[in-house]
Amino acid sequence: MRVNGHHLFIWAAIDVDSREVLAVDASWQRSIMNAEHVLKKALRSCLNKPLILVDKGPWYLDALMSLKLSHKHVTRGLRNRIERWFRTLKERTRRFYNNFPARKNGIRCVRLFLETFTYWYNNLRTHQTLKRPPSQILS
């Protein structure tokens, strides 16, 4: 995604069972601090310390170790759930060419959009496989 033509990274964490998005954020770079921030946001909605599924992003390992979380490297299968969420996000942002033409507070505008999009995805949108919104699965 871009803000005024500058590349921005989107971070997200999803519950692979319910498909509910637990955390989302945006940053100008990928770093251990960014990964740790998103993991901490996701952990707020967890009752215990879950097994975290990650790809080979080097920023994840140190963040996971600092939070004392167990993890598993995956490239397919359950990992496809987060990739499907990103595809849904891209389908939406493609309507404005994946660029936020924000004059001021560009990253804040993107974060607000992501929070709103996540609310819609979790609570209002009927998931194709689940036949209802993800937030209704565990309730």
**pLDDT given for residue 81 in this prediction:** 86
Ordered mean pLDDT values, 10 residues apiece, the chain (139 residues):
88 92 96 96 90 89 94 81 91 81 81 95 87 78
**pLDDT given for residue 139 in this prediction:** 52
Domain 2-134 has CATH 3.30.1360.120: no
111: burial class by Cβ within 10 Å (0-12, 13-18, 19+)? middle
- Secondary structure of residue 31 in the 3-state scheme: coil
**pLDDT given for residue 13 in this prediction:** 95
Domain ranges of the chain: 2-134
The residue count of the chain comes to 139
